[in-house]
């Protein structure tokens, strides 16, 4: 009996060791397919589980304060105007900064050329003239200007049949004249101006007798002679502005040299073209 009890005591520790080996967990290999979602760590506290790094959240940036817009019924600031037909943007600029208020440039020099027509007739005598006169002008101010130029005029003198006697035929003849002039202009109101000229011309004129009748040569043509003619002209004009540089004028002038030594007739109408030079 004693021998059997001792044998059972010796066999109990071995059985306990064998039972412990069968209940312990063995490490398992990762047999999940590639791309599979990793298993979460569900191990109880105190076990040896893998650790992951923790990320701290940064504090958000402070918001920039935005001013509250004024109410609709509140009046606009003094430097801003409401949109209108003449100011669609509603923006106001300091005086003199908008394009409409900018002063136009004053061009000091300009080319001034004209084409003139004149006619004079009385008691069977007629005089027609056509002239061209290029000039260079200079502006003293935006209203006052003057300048020199040259002139060329062609005149045709005609006498009706019977002017020299009961059986005298109609007589006419052409004459050429070349001279120098000086002109001045003053703008009076808007585009209306006063115009004056003084011309000195080497002219061809018909020879007349003491009674004012023309003298004819043997062929019945008018005798010509050359002389210096002084012609003052003055009148009014109107300017049509095409741009800052170009304009056209029409001028009506009175010829103060209204006599036989006259190369223009009465009145004198001139059509002029103006072009500003420089920047």
Structural domains for the chain: 109-276 (2.40.160.20)
| Rounded Cα distance, 234 and 244, in Å | 26
In this prediction, residue 1 carries a pLDDT of 45
Contacts of 225 (CB under 8 A, 6+ apart): 204, 205, 207
In this prediction, residue 263 carries a pLDDT of 82
| Rounded Cα distance, 263 and 120, in Å | 10
| Rounded Cα distance, 130 and 118, in Å | 7
| Rounded Cα distance, 168 and 228, in Å | 30
In this prediction, residue 76 carries a pLDDT of 56
- This model's pTM is above 0.75: no
- Cα separation values, 90 from 82, 94, 136, Å: 5, 13, 46
- What is the residue-level pLDDT of the chain in tens, covering all 279 positions? 444 444 444 444 544 444 444 445 555 555 555 555 555 555 555 555 555 555 566 667 777 777 777 666 656 555 556 666 666 665 655 555 555 555 666 679 999 998 888 888 878 888 888 999 999 999 999 899 999 999 999 988 888 887 777 877 888 888 899 999 999 999 999 899 999 999 999 998 888 888 778 888 777 788 888 889 999 999 999 999 998 899 999 999 998 887 667 788 788 889 999 999 986
In this prediction, residue 16 carries a pLDDT of 45
Question: In terms of C-beta distances under 8 Å and separation of at least 24 residues, what long-range contacts does 49-55 make, across chains too?
Answer: none
- Cα separation values, 10 from 1, 7, 18, 20, 49, Å: 15, 5, 14, 17, 39
In this prediction, residue 242 carries a pLDDT of 92
Task: Report whether the peptide linkage leading into residue 267 is cis, meaning its omega lies within 30 degrees of zero.
Answer: yes
In this prediction, residue 9 carries a pLDDT of 45
In this prediction, residue 56 carries a pLDDT of 62
In this prediction, residue 32 carries a pLDDT of 54
Residue 199, judged by CB atoms within 10 A of its CB (0-12, 13-18, 19+), counts as buried
- Beta-strand (E) ranges in 49-191? 109-122, 125-139, 144-159, 171-189
CB of 149 within 8 A of CB of 135?
yes
| Rounded Cα distance, 279 and 42, in Å | 90
In terms of DSSP bridges, do strands 246-255 and 268-276 run parallel, antiparallel, or are they unpaired? antiparallel
């Amino acid at each position: 009996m004693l021998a059997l009890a001792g044998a059972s005591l010796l066999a109990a520790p071995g059985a306990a060791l064998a039972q412990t080996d069968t209940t312990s967990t063995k490490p398992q290999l990762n047999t999940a397919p590639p791309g599979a979602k990793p298993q979460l760590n569900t191990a109880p506290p105190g076990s040896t589980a893998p650790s992951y790094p923790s990320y701290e959240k940064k504090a958000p940036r402070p918001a920039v304060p935005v001013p509250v817009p004024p109410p609709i019924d509140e009046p606009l600031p003094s430097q801003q105007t409401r949109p209108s037909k003449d100011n669609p943007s509603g923006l106001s600029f300091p005086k003199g900064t908008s394009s409409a208020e900018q002063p136009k440039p004053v061009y000091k020099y300009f080319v001034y050329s004209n084409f003139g027509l004149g006619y004079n007739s009385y008691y069977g005598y007629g005089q027609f003239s056509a002239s061209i006169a290029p000039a260079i002008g200079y502006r003293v101010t935006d209203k006052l200007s003057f300048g020199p130029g040259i002139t060329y005029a062609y005149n045709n003198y005609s006498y009706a049949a019977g002017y020299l006697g009961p059986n005298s035929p109609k007589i006419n003849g052409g004459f050429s004249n070349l001279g120098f002039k000086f002109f001045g202009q003053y703008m009076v109101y808007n585009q209306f101006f006063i115009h004056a000229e003084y011309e000195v011309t080497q002219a061809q004129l018909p020879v007349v007798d003491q009674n004012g009748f023309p003298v004819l040569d043997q062929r019945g043509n008018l005798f010509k002679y050359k002389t210096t003619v002084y012609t003052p002209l003055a009148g009014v004009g109107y300017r049509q502005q095409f741009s800052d540089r170009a304009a056209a004028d029409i001028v009506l002038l009175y010829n103060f040299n209204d006599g036989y030594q006259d190369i223009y007739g009465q009145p004198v109408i001139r059509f002029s073209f103006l072009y500003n030079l420089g920047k």
